[in-house]
């Protein structure tokens, strides 16, 4: 891998970490479309570009989710009772979701990603906050919700916050606790997703050098190393910058990146 591509991965890591800290959003929405475009430019097999982008993004989210979880736990914002109820379903759903994604052709997978990112972006632009209207379900209900969140998270390589936060606020969980608990839920999602993509891609032939399953190691190391330093910087600036305005701009960026990804995939 050339120094130019290494520099590009480092820059991506800085961008991902900063906005994750600033806006509290997972990096998958940025990483998947950008990595898909970068992989295409490097001549990676078209039929595996999106799978490699998803797997690499999931693995990169592991370290950032640990950092985020620790920060929210220190502020007492994590509802561990909810985490324990949701975690079994999240682990199963995410792991199973990687098998669904790995068996899906690249183009339908890219379309699903683009549509989901459009939903996330619209949510951010409109600042949608569901009204608290019910209580949390029991253990079986939480496990079922966790399974659904896990499956979708695996298909789009996100930490689940765009699904779990609205669900918890709908169930009368305070927003601060919903965000903190979502950060904790992101760790099992990232671990199960990374493991699933590693297993699913392990026996696939024709993948580039330096891959472990569907995880491209140079991108993983470069993105993770830099994002760990820029995430706290973004978090510090969150109270000084107009976050509501930045979220709308960021939502527009997500839509453009997803459109570029679809253009890359369908043009390959």
Write the DSSP string, 118-170: HHHHHHHHHT--PPP-S----HHHHHHHHHHHHHHHHHHT--SHHHHHHHHHH
Per the CB < 8 A criterion, the answer to whether 175 and 169 are in contact is yes
- pLDDT for 251 equals 85
Per the CB < 8 A criterion, the answer to whether 245 and 112 are in contact is no
- 211 forms bridges with which residues in the sheet? 216
- pLDDT for 57 equals 94
CB count in 10 Å sphere of residue 182: 33
- pLDDT for 25 equals 66
What is the overall mean pLDDT for the chain? 89
What tens digit of pLDDT does each residue of 76-118 get? 889 999 999 999 999 999 999 999 999 999 999 999 999 998 9
Q: Are strands 215-216 and 211-212 parallel, antiparallel or unpaired?
A: antiparallel
Residues of the chain where predicted confidence (pLDDT) is lower than 50: none
Q: What is the pTM of this model?
A: 0.90
């Amino acid at each position: 891998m050339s120094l130019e591509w290494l520099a590009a991965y480092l820059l991506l890591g800085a961008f991902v970490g900063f906005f994750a800290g600033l806006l509290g959003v997972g990096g998958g929405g940025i990483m998947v479309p950008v990595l898909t475009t970068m992989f295409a430019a490097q001549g990676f097999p078209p039929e595996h570009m999106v799978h490699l982008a998803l797997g690499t993004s999931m693995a990169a989210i592991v370290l950032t989710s640990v950092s985020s979880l620790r920060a929210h736990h220190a502020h007492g914002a994590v509802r561990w009772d909810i985490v324990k109820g949701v975690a079994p379903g999240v682990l199963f759903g995410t792991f199973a979701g990687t098998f669904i994604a790995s068996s899906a052709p690249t183009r339908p997978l890219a379309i699903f990603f683009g549509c989901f990112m459009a939903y996330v972006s619209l949510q951010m632009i409109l600042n949608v906050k569901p009204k608290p209207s019910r209580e949390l379900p029991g253990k079986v209900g939480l496990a079922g919700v966790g399974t659904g969140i896990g499956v979708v998270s695996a298909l789009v390589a996100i930490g689940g916050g765009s699904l779990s936060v609205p669900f918890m606020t709908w169930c009368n969980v305070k927003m601060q606790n919903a965000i903190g608990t979502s950060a904790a839920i992101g760790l099992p999602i990232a671990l199960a997703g990374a493991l699933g993509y590693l297993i699913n891609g392990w026996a696939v032939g024709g993948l580039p050098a330096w891959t472990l399953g569907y995880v491209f190691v140079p991108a993983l190391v470069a993105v993770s190393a830099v994002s760990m330093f820029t995430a706290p910087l973004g978090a510090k600036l969150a109270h000084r910058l107009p976050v509501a305005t930045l979220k709308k701009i960021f939502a527009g960026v997500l839509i453009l990146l997803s459109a570029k990804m679809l253009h890359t995939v369908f043009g390959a």
